[in-house]
Chains A and B, each alone.
Chain A
C-alpha cells in the first residue's frame, strides 16, 4: 500500500488545547500547519478535565506564579472567547473540621497573586449557593469561571483552517521520525483506522502531545522531557447543582471542587500517580471517595444523580519532591527547544493548565516563527476567537435553545436527553473540524452533546446511526461496528456511577443494545458481523 503524503510548514502533534492553540497562533502569523492526533480532538487531558477557567485561587497558596498566570490568561479568554465561557464566579468554602490556619491565610495569598478575593459571611455564601451547609467556617468569592474545552478547541482549529491552508488529520499516530544532519526530515505516521502509512514533511515539528509528550520526544531521540502522570477522576451530574464554582478551602484533595458546565455539574478531582497515560478509566472506589468528600462540602450531592464518570491524565513536569505526589508538582509549563539534544527543528511544550493554553501556544509560536524567519508577532492575545455554525453544539443546553428557537417541525430531535436535532448533526458533518475526514457517531458526539445525557447513548446511538445510514455517511455493516464501539466506550464511564436512578437506564440500554440491536452476538454468524 503506497503511503499518503502531506507537506506543511509545521507539523503539530497533539489535538488538545495546546496543539490547537499553536495551530491557530501560527496560522495568525501566516504559517501553514498540519495538526495530527492519534485519536481525535481533546482525547487527552484537554477533554478530561472539569472545564474550570481558573481564577488562580486554587494555586494561590502553593504556587503564586501559576496563580497569577491563570488570572491573566483567564481574563484574556473571557474577553476573546466569551461564547465558550460562563463567567459564573466561584467560592472557596471551608466547612467544619477544615484547617483554620489554611483558610485564614487565603486572602493574603490571593492578594500576592493579584486575585480579587471577597470575604463572605456564611449567610452571604448560602445566598449565592443555597445548598451549602449551615456550618461554614470561612467563605471567599473569587472570579472563577467555566470554559467549554471542546468548543474552544474546535474554534482554534476552525479558525486556523479558515486563515490559510492549515489542516487537521484525526486518527493519525506518529510512529517514527526520519532524522538526518540534526533535522527531522519527515514524520512517519499510521492512520489508525485504515492502517495506511502517512508521511508528513515539514520544516518544523511541534510536540504538543500532552501526557504523551515524553514518549513522542523519545521517538525523536530526545531524553530531556520528563513527565509525571497524575490521573484525575471526575463525576458528571444529570443537572446543574450550583450556580457557580464551589471549591473546598483546604489543601487540594479528592472531591473538593464542583464546577457547573451548562446544564450539568462536574465533581472532582482525584489525583493518583500512574505509570502510563494510556488505558486509564474511573474506578468505583475513586467515585465513592470523591462523592463522600464532595458531600462534606455540599450534602445535596448525596441525593444527586450522576450519569457518568471520566478520567484524565495531567501531564506534570517532574521536579524535586514531586516524584510521588502529583499535587505537589509544579503546574507551570516548559518549552523544550531540544537544541542541546542535537535537533534544530523540533520543539516540545509540556505541563501547564488548560487555562494557560494560549500562553503556552504563544511561547511555542514565538520559537517556531523565529526559526522560520518570520517577524510576525503573536496575535492571539488580541484577536477574538471566531465561532461558527458547526462549532457551537458542545455546550450543554445550546442545542435545546436552538431547536426551540427554530421551531421547525421537520427538524427531528436525534438525542432526546440533550435535544440535539438533525440540523445540528448536518452542520457538523458539513463543516466541523475533521469533517473532511469520514464522520462517525463518535466523531459527531465529540462535536456535540450526543450521548452525554441521562440515557448515555441508549437511544441516540441507534437514532444517529440510522440517520447516518439514511444520509449515506454509513454504507456498510461498519456503521454497526462503530455504534458498538461507541456504546462500549461510553459504558466505561457509566459503570462506576451505576446505582439508583441510573439502574433503570442501564437495564433499558442493555435491552436495546443486546435485545434489539444484537450487539452482544455481533460476532456470531447470524448476528450481522461487521468484520
Chain B
C-alpha cells in the first residue's frame, strides 16, 4: 500500500501531550487561535489526579500556596512560576479546572489553602485542586469520620490495610476490608480494567451490593481510583445512593485511572472543540522558516507535514523523551536547544536519595525569557516563533516542590498568551 501524505496548516502547533500540552491547547482555543497538538507519551498515567500548585517551599509543607508563591519569587527568581503574578496563575489554574469540569471530569476550584490529598500508603500530600471523586476522603480524614476503606483481590500495590495502619493513630475510626471485584475472581486486576467495567451499571450495582453489608455504621467508603473512565462523578453519585454512604476515591500506583481519564477526556473532547489532535504521533523533526515552522511526523500509514506559525514545546523531561542524556551531557533531542549544565554527571544527583534539597539535575532544562521563548546562552530567543512550557523548563523541581500541575498550567498559559501576542 502506498504511504499517505497529509499537510496541515495551523497557527499554533503544540508538541507534547502532558498536562502542559493539553492546557496550552485549551488556552489557545480560548484565545481564538487555530491549534494542532501532537505527541506520544503515556506519562499522563503517572499522575495521582491531584493538581498541585506549590505544596513545598523552603523544604517545608505549605498550607498557603499563594503566600508560598510570593516567597518563591523572592527566593527563586529564576523559577518559571516566578515570572508570573498570582492573579495570572490563578486565572490559568481556574481556566484549566473550569475546562475539565466542562468536559465532564469534576475538579474542585482552587481555594486559598492547600488540601491534604490522601495517598495510597496512608500518608497525605499538599495539593490545591482534586477530582471531585476524591474530595470526600479529605473531609473524612479531617473529621476523623467513621470510614471503611476497601481494596480488591488481585489489585497490586494498593493495600487498604496499609492505608488503615498508617492513618490509625490520628484516624482511629478508619477500618479496612477486602473484596473480590464482581466477575474478577482469582486473577490479577488492574485499576484501568476495573474502571472500564464500572462503566457498566450492572457492575456498579453488583459492587454496591458487596459493599453495603460491610458498612457497619461507616459514613464514608474509600476505594482505589476505579469509579469509571468517562463519567466518574455520575458513577460515584449513583453508587453512593446504592450504598448509603459517602463514597470517595484514593489514588493508586501507576498506570492509574485519574490520569488516563484526563487523557481520554481531552482526546474525546478536543476534536469537537476544534483542536487537531494526534495523540499517538511523535514529531520527528522541526524546521523553522521565515514565516513559521514545518513539523514532520511519521505515522504507521502516512507522513504528516504541519505548517505552523508558532510552535509551543511541552515535551516534558526524561520520562516522556523531552530530555535525553549520554554518559556526560544532557540534551534536548528535538531541536537541540541549549541546556546550561555542569561539566560531567558528578553534579547531577546528590549522594542521598531523599536529600530535602532535591537533585540538581531536576532543575536543569530549557532556559526561557519573559515571553517563555527558549533562549541561547547570550539571552536572545532561539526563534521568535518558538515557545516552551511545563517540566522541560529549567530552575524548577516539580516533584519535590509539589508543583507539577501548577507549573504546567501556569507556564502553558503564559506561553500561549505570548504566542497569541506574537501572532496578532
Q: Which residues of A contact B (CB under 8 A)?
A: 281, 284, 288, 291, 409-410, 412-414, 459, 462-463, 465-467, 469-470, 472, 474-477, 479-480, 484, 487-488, 491-492, 495, 498-500, 503-504, 506-508, 510-522, 524-528
User: Once bound together, how far apart are the Cα atoms of A410 and B153, in whole Å?
Assistant: 9
Q: Is B378 an interface residue (CB 8 A)?
A: no
Chain B residues, Cβ within 8 Å of A492: 351, 353
- Complex CA–CA separation, A296 to B215 (angstroms): 67
> A499 to B326, Cβ gap below 8 A?
yes
Contacts of A514 in B (CB 8 A): 354, 399-400
Instruction: Give 1 or 0 for each of B401-414: 1 = CB within 8 Å of chain A CB.
Output: 01010000000000
Binds A, one of B105-113, B121-129, B205-213, B266-274: B121-129
Interface membership of chain B positions 30-63, coded 1 if the CB is closer than 8 angstroms to chain A and 0 otherwise: 0000000000000000101000000010001100
B156 at the interface (CB under 8 A from A): yes
The interface residues of chain B lying within 8 Å CB-to-CB of A491 are: 352-353
Which 4 pairs across A and B sit closest by C-beta, in order of nearness?
Answer: A528-B123, A491-B353, A469-B162, A466-B159
Whether B354 lies near A526 (C-beta < 8 A) is no
Classify chain B: how many residues form its interface, as a range.
35 or more
Contact A410 B187 (CB under 8 A): yes
Of the candidates B120, B158, B318, B344, the one whose C-beta lies within 8 Å of that of A504 is B318
- Closest-by-CB residue of B relative to A408 is B186
B145 at the interface (CB under 8 A from A): no
Neighbour of A466 across the interface among B48, B158, B323, CB < 8 A: B158
Secondary structure of the B contact surface, majority rule? loop
A55 to chain B minimum Cβ distance, whole angstroms, is 33
Q: Which of A288, A498, A511, A517 contacts B46 (CB 8 A)?
A: A511
A412 and B151 CA atoms in complex are apart in Å by 15
Complex: chain A residue closest to B402, CB-CB: A515
Residue of B nearest to A527 (CB): B123
Contact B159 A517 (CB under 8 A): no
**Is A518 a contact partner of B253 (Cβ separation < 8 A)?**
no
Find out whether the CB atom of B318 lies under 8 angstroms from the CB atom of A524.
no
Q: From A491, which residue of chain B is reached at the shortest CB distance?
A: B353
Most buried by B among A288, A506, A515: A515
A514 to B52: give the CA distance in the assembly, Å.
14
Task: Assess whether B119 is in contact with A516, with CB atoms less than 8 Å apart.
Answer: yes
Kindly report which residue of chain A lies nearest to residue B124, judged by CB atoms.
A526
Q: Are A516 and B253 in contact (CB under 8 A)?
A: yes
- Taking CB atoms, residues of chain B closer than 8 Å to A410 are 154, 186-188
Give per-residue flags for B347-365: 1 if the beta carbon is below 8 A from chain A beta carbons, else 0: 0110111101001001000
Of all chain A residues, which has the CB nearest B404? A515
User: For the complex, is B319 an interface residue (Cβ under 8 Å from A)?
Assistant: yes
* A520 and B400 in contact, given A474-B165, A499-B345, A500-B326 (Cβ under 8 angstroms): yes
Contacts of A465 in B (CB 8 A): 121, 159, 162
CA–CA, A479 to B399, complex, Å?
Answer: 23
Given A495-B351, A500-B325, 19 more A-B residue pairs with CB atoms under 8 Å apart are: A284-B344, A409-B188, A410-B154, A412-B154, A465-B121, A466-B158, A470-B162, A479-B165, A498-B345, A499-B328, A507-B319, A510-B399, A512-B46, A520-B354, A520-B356, A522-B123, A522-B354, A526-B61, A528-B124
| Residue of B whose beta carbon sits closest to that of A464 | B157
- Taking CB atoms and an 8 Å cut-off, the chain B residues in 150-189 that contact chain A are 154, 156-159, 161-162, 165-166, 178, 186-188
Distance (Å) between the CB of A374 and the closest chain B CB?
A: 49
| Contact across chains for B157 and A476 when beta carbons are under 8 A apart | no
B254 at the interface (CB under 8 A from A): yes
A409 to B402, CA, bound (A): 38
A-B contact pairs, 7 of them (CB 8 A): A495-B351, A500-B324, A503-B318, A507-B318, A520-B354, A520-B400, A528-B121
Residues of B within 8 A of A499 (CB): 325-328, 345
Contact residues in A for B157 (Cβ distance below 8 Å): 459, 462-463, 466
Give A284 Cβ to nearest chain B Cβ, in Å.
Answer: 5
Q: Is the CB of B126 within 8 A of A526?
A: yes
A514 to B157, CA, bound (A): 16
Please tell me if the beta carbons of A516 and B61 are within 8 angstroms of each other in the complex. no
Partner of A498 from B166, B344, B348 at Cβ < 8 Å = B348
* Cβ-neighbour of A512 out of B123, B253, B318 (below 8 A): B253
A520 to B188, CA, bound (A): 30
A519→B125 CA distance, assembly (Å): 11
B346 lies within 8 A of chain A by Cβ: yes
Contact indicator A515/B326 (Cβ below 8 Å): no
B315, CB-defined interface residue at 8 Å = no
Give the chain B neighbours of A504 by CB distance below 8 A: 318-319, 321
Q: How far is the CA of A477 from the CA of B166 in the complex (A)?
A: 5
Q: How far is the CA of A138 from the CA of B356 in the complex (A)?
A: 53
Q: Which of B46, B60, B346, B354 has the most CB of A within 10 A?
A: B354
Flag whether B317 is at the interface (Cβ < 8 A): yes
Known interface pairs A288-B327, A409-B187, A463-B156. Does A521 touch B345 (Cβ–Cβ under 8 Å)?
no
B353 contacts A488, C-beta separation under 8 Å? yes
A463 touching B327 in the complex, CB below 8 Å, given contacts A284-B345, A498-B348, A518-B125: no
Q: How far is the CA of A524 from the CA of B254 in the complex (A)?
A: 25
CA distance A514 to B354 in the complex (A): 8
B116, CB-defined interface residue at 8 Å: yes
Name the residue among A414, A479, A519, A520 with the largest chain B CB count within 10 angstroms: A520
Contact of B121 among A284, A459, A480 (CB under 8 A): A480
Q: What separation, in Å, do the CA atoms of A106 and B175 have in the docked complex?
A: 70
Chain B residue with minimal CB distance to A466? B159
